[in-house]
Chains A and B, each alone.
Chain A
Amino acid sequence: MIRKSILIIVILQIICPIALCGVFANCFMGGYNLNTNDDKRMAINFSNHDIIAGVDMRANLETSLQSRFEGIPPVPIADLKASQIVGDGVYYSRLTSEVVHKVYTMGQDPVVKTVDVDTYIIMPKKFDAIQAMTMHFSDEDSSQAELTAKFTYDNEEYEFTVTSEIDETNELEIFLAPYCPLLEGLDLDYTDSFPDSISRDNLHYEGGLTIEAIKV
């Protein structure tokens, strides 16, 4: 007998724009999804937290979630993506996420998988960046998670990725800061300055702001 599956595809797209005039953003966003069929339930909930700080910056946070039962017999599948795109004028960008995926099968203990994601970029000069995570939950093939941080600094683009199979408890992290191990050997400039000077009629002025990262 072919069971009729209840196929639910939920696409949740949340775009969280940051106003052009904003120079600091601290945004929480989350979602919860529940799929059921005859003898299984899948629940997935996530919460994203992003922090963006700088001057005259542009930023977008996009999240999408697709969850469904697929195949015969039905297999719970979920795909979650979240990406934060920040434009010029950013000095600090951080994306964190907590994802909990549960599959309940009648007569069995639930299978729970959690993934914690944390990535930040902080620099003494402005940069733009894309920080993105993707997660694929499935009973059939292995569940996978990937975290990518790509940023443009001093007109050069750098990209870092970590991947992991999703077990019971997982953490994915990419921390990019001055003199960190991931940036070692890249010879990045960790000083930015905004000088000003003027002379008039035997009066000379010099002033400015300097931002510098220093290693002990």
Chain B
Amino acid sequence: MIEIKLRWNTGLRAERQAFRWLLFLAVLLIYATNGQGTVSLSASYYNSDGGLSEEVSVDNADFQGSVVIMPYETLPDFPSSITLQGAGHSNGAYSRSYFSHSVSASSGGEFNEIEADMSTKNASFGWTSEGKISSDYEDGQLISLNPKGEIVSGVIDAHYANSFSSLEQDIYATNKYYAFNAEITSDLVYFEVPTLHPIGGSEPSQLISQLTATNHGKEVVAFQKLQEDPLIRTVVPTEWYQEVKLGPQESQILQYVEIRSIPGYLTYPTSELTESITAGMTLEATYENSGQPLFEKRFIPTSEFSNYPLTVGVMKNEYDDVYMVNRLNMSVRWGEQTWEA
């Protein structure tokens, strides 16, 4: 159900009251909620300074938004001539949920558009949206989407984009807590996994991630996986980190997995898959238009180590003041400048 309401702003100062006949203040309250099926909203807001548009679609998720439109940017209490904001979240983590949200802005001859969509199974998400038409910003506009999600055992497929960059995110998790947040503006697509910790229990855990970033004429695919046996997880904890920044001049992907034993235990490379931890990364880079690769697919560990992926076992050491760290890391940068190898 989509509900649109109008309300007047009654907080005007005395000196402005004389001009109230000349002011037209419109406030639209937009509320979208879903019980069954998909609900969509499409709306545009404009004045003499510019315009904002958004399209929202949800399935098994709630969204609520509001917009304040002024005829022009004049009042200190309303620094933006158009202000748009909203927030949404999935309903229930143990089902399928979906949202898509695009926001576009035009002002002073500039047009920008951003979008985010996410489809989940057995995961939860939330997001906020913001849009402003104001001379306080470069190009007279600000638009942003901030999605976030978390998962323990499930699937997340997401897409984030602005006018020159896009990021696809595909996550599969089993018994592994995974949380992320993203920010999309007209200048930046940013993604980060700051938190990752094990879930206790007697079942193995697995986490598989693929990030596909496209901009500056190239498509970069970064893959990362981690499998843990519960029998050694308590003495060999792991860390996982991912960060993506897609900007107008330079873009970057960073990710690492660290397998670290606690003091008194030592890890060793092995092929034995029981009571072990396995991790690996790959990277592919191709030209966006032709699909031609820039170079051969990269693997971590490399062929110099001999095995892909890395599997480690653990043993109890006689000396309890030493531990072992196995770290797989990857960074890739690309854009308008050249870096030395």
Contact = CB atoms under 8 A, between A and B. Distances in A.
Interface residues of A, number: 44
Contacts of B40: none
A216 B264 CA distance: 10
Chain A facing B: main interface SS: strand
A206 B216 contact: no
B313 A203 contact: no
B302 A194 contact: yes
Interface stretch (A3-11, A63-71, A145-153, A173-181): A173-181
A204 B322 contact: no
Contacts of A198: 295, 298, 341
A94 B333 CA distance: 44
Contacts of B266: 122, 177-178, 213
Contacts of B218: 201, 203
Nearest to B310: A209
A198 B328 CA distance: 17
Interface in A201-216: 201-216
B271 A204 contact: no
A212 B324 contact: yes
Chain B facing A: main interface SS: strand
A54 to B, nearest CB: 6
Contacts of A194: 301-302, 304-305
Contacts of B334: 202-204
A199 interface: yes
Contacts of A89: 306
Nearest to B264: A216
Interface string A166-195: 000000000101111100000000000011
B295 A196 contact: no
Interface string A15-37: 00000001110100000000000
A177 B328 contact: no
Given A203-B334, A214-B322, A208 B270 contact: no
A122 B324 CA distance: 11
B323 A216 contact: yes
B294 interface: yes
Nearest to B317: A177
B325 A212 contact: yes
Given A194-B301, A209-B310, A210-B325, A200 B332 contact: no
12 contacts: A53-B270, A53-B271, A53-B313, A55-B269, A56-B306, A94-B315, A194-B305, A198-B295, A203-B332, A207-B330, A209-B310, A211-B325
Given A120-B315, A202-B336, A206-B332, 18 more contacts: A53-B270, A54-B268, A55-B271, A177-B319, A179-B319, A179-B321, A180-B318, A197-B341, A203-B220, A203-B334, A204-B332, A205-B298, A206-B331, A207-B330, A208-B302, A209-B328, A213-B325, A216-B321
